[in-house]
Amino acid sequence: MGIRITGLGKSAGSRVVTNEDIASFVDTNDEWIRTRTGISQRYFTAEGETTATLAADAARQALKHAEREDVDMTAVATMTPDTPCPSTAGWVQGELGLGGGAIDLNAACSGWVYSMALCAGAIETRALESALVIGAERFSYILDWEDRQTAVIFGDGSGAAVIERTEGRGDLLACDLGNDGSIAHLIQIPAGGARLPASIETVEKRLHTVDMAGKEVFRVATTVMVDTCRKTLAKAGVSVEDVAVFIPHQANIRIISYAIEKLGMPEERTVVNIDRYGNTSAASVPIALCEAWENGRIDEGDLVLVAGFGAGMSWASALFEWSLPR
C-alpha cells in the first residue's frame, strides 16, 4: 500500500517584480543579483492576495486535476501564515469548502517534502484516504528592504498536490527528513512569537523580518542537500543514474550547481526555475514539480527526486516513481 499523486497545481503573486524594480529602492543592481543568485524576476502579491489565497488557488487547480471535490486532510507547509491562529490550512479549507482535518507545518523551505512524508504516512496507516499537500509563502511582507542579502532573493507563490491511497507500491519510494536545531539561528524571524512578542521596539528594530547569515547558510545547504539526496536514494536502492528528473529547492543557482556536481546529476535532468520565481521557500519544490510535469519533462515511470533545505536548519528529500498520466 502507498500513495499516488493524482493532481497538481501552482500559483504565484500577480505582480512581476524584476531586478531593475528591486534596484529602484534597494542598493543593488541586476548584474549583482543575477550573478550571485541566478534570479532575474520574482512574483509578489498584490492587494487582497495572501498566503491563504495563493494556497487556495493552487489547491483548487490540484483538486480539479484530480477530479476530487474533497479530501481527508488539508496540510499547508508555510513559514508565512496568514494568522498565528487559526492555521492557514483552516482558511484554505473554508475558502474551498473542504471537510476533513486542517493543519499547518513549518519546516521552512523543506516544509512541502515534510508534509508529503507525514501525510503519506497517515494514508499508509489508513488514518487518511486522501490529502491535499500545499506549500505556500508570502515572503514579500516580511523582507527588510535595507538588507539586500535577503530582499532580492524571495518571492511569493504556492504549489499543491493531491495524494490518494493505492493498494499498489505507490509513487513515494523513500524519503529523508532532518534538522539541526543547534544552528537554528542562521535563518530566523526574531520577533512576533512568544519568545519576543511584538512591541514598538521590535518593529523599530525590524525584528519581524527575515534575518539570514548568508555565508553560513550556503555552507550548510551545500552539504545537507547532497547528503539527504544520497540517503533517500540509498533507502530506495537506486543510484543517481536511475533518476530521470531532479527537482532541488530553488534557493540559489550556486547551491544547485554545487549539489548536482557533487551528486553526479546531469544538468539536463535538473529542473531550475529560480530565474523566474526566486526563492518561494515551501512553495519552491511543488511549483517546480508542477511546472516540470506541465512542460512534459516528467513521464510515467520516471524516478523523480526532490529536495529542500531551510530554516531550522531543516532538510528533506523524497523519491517518487511517477504514475500520473499526461
**Domain extents in the chain:** 2-169, 173-321
Q: How far apart are the C-alpha atoms of 281 and 264, rounded to whole Å?
A: 25
Give per-residue pLDDT as tens, 112-161.
Answer: 999 999 999 999 999 999 999 999 999 999 999 988 889 999 999 999 99
pLDDT, residue 168, reads 84
Are 2-169 and 173-321 equal in CATH topology? Answer: yes
Find all residues with CB under 8 Å of 173, minimum gap 6, and list them: 235, 236, 238, 303, 319, 320, 321
Give dist(CA 135, CA 139) in Å, integer.
13
Q: Extract the residue ranges of the chain whose pLDDT is less than 70.
A: none
Which is nearest to 240 in space by CA: 256, 224, 260?
260
pLDDT at position 241 is 97
Specify which residues 250 forms β-bridges with: none
Q: Please pick, among 109, 119, 175, 229, the residue that the annotation labels catalytic.
A: 109
Question: Is residue 147 classed exposed, middle or buried when 0-12, 13-18 and 19+ CB atoms within 10 A define those classes?
Answer: middle
| Max Cα–Cα distance, the chain, nearest Å | 56
Instruction: Give me the catalytic one of 106, 229, 279, 290.
Output: 279
249 is catalytic: yes
> CATH homologous superfamily for 173-321?
Thiolase/Chalcone synthase (3.40.47.10)
- Which class in CATH covers the domain with range 2-169? alpha beta
- pLDDT at position 282 is 98
**Dihedral of the alpha carbons of 97, 98, 100, 103, in degrees to the nearest 10:** -100
| Alpha-carbon gap, residue 130 to 128, rounded angstroms | 6
Element (H, E) at 20: helix 19-23
* Stated pTM of the model: 0.96
Could you say which of 119, 179, 249, 290 is catalytic?
249
CA distances from 11 to 20, 53, 154, 158, 277 (A): 23, 9, 15, 5, 11
HSE toward the beta carbon, residue 317, CA cutoff 13 A: 23
